[in-house]
A = this chain, B = another copy of it.
């Protein structure tokens, strides 16, 4: 049987496990040219919260009763395409289920000798590409500049901060636990980091850790943390809006101070981006990320839940900041 997790109800605020439903269906049979893949690892990402809302966005919402979407690392079980053989390991977009059909162009073959296969859902996949283009293309950081990253111990944030270090920047991370701060400082060698959950005055903390101001801000979080960074921007600063996870559960926009006037004073740019817009340059990005990875300059952490049935809990935990690095669910061996 094919176990699937579908959207049972549209959440109001933080999702609960009852917003999901585990159902079973027959394992599908591949048609002409199709490939049947089995999910080994499911990627859990903040963007999925947006897909649970019935709102116009850059991608269609998941409908009630539909299988939740998501990237996967999968194994080919059956193939009606000469390019894929049973046993091949692939990056796919199977969603929250054991089995799925795929077209060959939706699959990317993985070589487990080159890198652990889960990196295809992390630093050597969309996560790494998001950090790469969101930092380099949107913000163009220069050696010696100060780069602040929010959500810095998450999958994208930890990659963005390391890339900024590779580029010669002073990197300051903001995260939500002391363990995360130790990880940023001791393992990723960030220049400074602070725990926003135990810091009273974010503006003062930023002023302390960014004595020359903030030139680049890579924002995964939004909210009061981002307000504080805006007050510390340097002239001609660049801000990349990658995510706003602090706001994703809000049924309507939270309120905060109106700070657009600060952008005039520092002539700063704030730009939202989606990694999918960079698809024509994914090859360039993956080559660079892979080179840094082989050189040992791009490390990563994973938080791995076990079992498809635990995917909702892992997802809810990620929205609350429980994960260090990339949140995955291991579905099968």
Contact among B247, B260, B265, B274 with A219 in the assembled complex (CB-CB below 8 Å): B260
> B269 touching A258 by the CB < 8 A rule?
no
List A residues 242-270 near B (Cβ within 8 Å).
242-244, 247-248, 252-270
Q: Report which of B223, B243, B266, B273 forms a contact with A272, defined as CB distance below 8 A.
A: B266
With a CB–CB cut-off of 8 A, which chain B residues contact A271? Answer: 263, 267-270
Q: Roughly how many angstroms separate A244 CA and B261 CA in the complex, as a whole number?
A: 6
Asked if A57 lies at the interface with its beta carbon under 8 angstroms from chain B, I say yes
Does A7 interact with chain B (Cβ within 8 Å)?
A: no
Q: In the complex, are the beta carbons of B58 and A261 less than 8 A apart? A: no
For A263, give its contact among B241, B254, B258 (CB under 8 Å).
Answer: B241
A223 and B241 alpha carbons, distance in the complex (Å): 21
**Do the beta carbons of B270 and A269 come within 8 Å of each other?**
yes
A222 within 8 A of B: yes
Query: Which B-chain residue is minimally distant from A237 (CB atoms)?
Result: B272
Q: How far is the CA of A254 from the CA of B261 in the complex (A)?
A: 11
CB-CB nearest in chain B for A261: B244
Residues of B contacting A256 with CB < 8 Å? 255-258
- Given A269-B269, A269-B270, A270-B270: A241 and B264 within 8 A (CB)? yes
Task: Tell yes or no: A277 within 8 A of B by CB.
Answer: yes
Q: How far is the CA of A198 from the CA of B58 in the complex (A)?
A: 33
- A277: chain B residues at CB < 8 Å are 267
Check if A226 is an interface residue, CB within 8 A of chain B: yes
Given A265-B57, A267-B277: A272 touches B255 (CB 8 Å cut-off): no
Chain B contacts of A266 at CB under 8 A? 58, 272
Q: Which residues from B are CB-within-8-Å of A243?
A: 264
Residue numbers of A with Cβ under 8 A of B are 57-58, 219, 222-223, 226, 235, 241-244, 247-248, 252-274, 277
Known: A264-B274, A270-B271. 17 other contacts (CB 8 A): A222-B258, A223-B258, A241-B263, A244-B258, A244-B260, A247-B261, A253-B257, A253-B259, A255-B255, A256-B256, A256-B258, A260-B270, A261-B272, A266-B272, A267-B272, A269-B270, A270-B270
The 7 residue pairs across chains A and B that have the minimum distance between CB atoms: A263-B272, A253-B257, A264-B272, A244-B261, A269-B271, A270-B270, A255-B255
18 residue pairs bridging A and B, Cβ less than 8 Å apart: A57-B265, A58-B265, A222-B260, A226-B260, A241-B260, A241-B261, A241-B263, A248-B261, A253-B257, A253-B259, A253-B261, A255-B258, A256-B257, A260-B272, A264-B274, A266-B272, A269-B271, A269-B272
